[in-house]
Structure 1
Amino acid sequence: MATASTEDQIRAVGLEVTGCCERLSKWPGLLEQSAVLEDFTPEEADVLGALMLHVRANPGQMLITEGNVDDWMMLLLRGTVDVGKRIGPEAEREVRGDNTRLAVLRPGSVLGEMSMFDGEPRYASCWALSEVEAAVLDRAAVARLIKSRPEIGAKLLVKLTQLLAQRLRNTSSQLVKVLRHQTTT
């Protein structure tokens, strides 16, 4: 399971920690809906889930705050999450309304994986749009997984790398569209 400091960090942001996700494979549709878990067997998903904290959040509650330094990611189990980035002259203010929406995430989505990998400050903020349940995985748990079950650890890292590559492609495509629009105006 995640380290005590990760649990403390999660509680400090106001999320309810209800234990671990030992039976991750039992979440209806999760293995099929999640790009990260789609190639996992139920047993592999349960091994991963045993290393993850189960958390809950209420609508409107902050899950991840832009600029915070944390080393964990979330797998959305239930609910909908808004992802936003502060942009413009008011970028230093931590007001939800000052954010530009980047995405709306649904069950099976992963959030916060970049900071888990690189330890850098959070790039964007995430809010619960509905009641949310999520599984939290920290960097130390990934290291334990790689050591104890390298085949599952490798599978997880490959899937997360594919996810990051796809997000980079999408971002690059959006940037090209903006640059083309600027050169035509």
Structure 2
Amino acid sequence: MARLEEQMRTIGLEVLGCCEKLSERPGLLQESPILQDFTPQEADVLGEGMLHVHAEPGQMLIREGDSSEWMMLLLNGTVDVGKRMGHEAAPEQRGDNTRLAVIRTGAVLGEMSMFDGEPRYASCWALSPVDAAVMDRDAVARLIKAHPAVGAKLLVKLTQLLAQRLRNTSTQLVKVMRQRTTEQ
């Protein structure tokens, strides 16, 4: 976990230690799609392998194009997700980005790069004070080895999340294509 701590400090996030007792965070198990089927004990096992970080408003959490293999679970706060829309756009400048989403407590971000190791697709900024639990690919592997049932549950939930995001993206793409067809 020392490598992950160093990565978090390098991007300017405050590291608060291990993310123990996820089950004791009010409403998190009910609000978070990723944790909804976890028992309190399973959530606590998951949290033991995660790093607790903090960001202030305006602080970048994820930079588009960076290579990293970790994901975040928002414990509290609101995050702006944006994508550069031109080659001249700088990923660290919010004004040059198109907003893709605003996500809140319980949401997961960065899971695609954690899985495939590819560069980050979008940038994310804290809109409010943010606390997050961070887990890298190595921690997922350790979880699967030490607690197979919890690791499997996490992977199923992440797969469901990715499938839902793909469906949403496909639906949006079809809408845009239909709109362009009717405009011509």
Q: Which runs of 5+ in 1 are unaligned?
A: none
CA–CA separation in structure 1 for the residues paired with 2:36 and 2:91? 38
Aligned-pair distance for 1:91? 4.0
CA–CA separation in structure 2 for the residues paired with 1:10 and 1:43? 27
Relative to the length of structure 1, the TM-score reads 0.96
CA–CA separation in structure 2 for the residues paired with 1:92 and 1:179? 28
Tell me, what secondary structure is at the counterpart of 2:66?
Answer: coil
CA–CA separation in structure 2 for the residues paired with 1:78 and 1:182? 39
Relative to the length of structure 2, the TM-score reads 0.97
1:176 aligned partner: 174
Aligned-pair distance for 1:89? 4.5
1:120 aligned partner: 118
Aligned-pair distance for 1:88? 2.9
CA–CA separation in structure 2 for the residues paired with 1:63 and 1:48? 21
Tell me, what secondary structure is at the counterpart of 1:36?
Answer: coil
Provide the aligned C-alpha RMSD in A: 1.0
Tell me, what secondary structure is at the counterpart of 1:84?
Answer: strand
- CA spacing shift, 1:93–1:28, aligned 2, 3 Å: closer
Aligned-pair distance for 1:90? 2.8
Identity, in percent, stands at 74
Q: Which runs of 5+ in 2 are unaligned?
A: none
Alignment partner of 1:26 out of 24, 27, 30: 24
2:159 aligned partner: 161
CA–CA separation in structure 2 for the residues paired with 1:54 and 1:82? 19
2:143 aligned partner: 145
- Write the letter of the residue equivalent to 2:100: L
Count of residues in correspondence between the two structures? 183
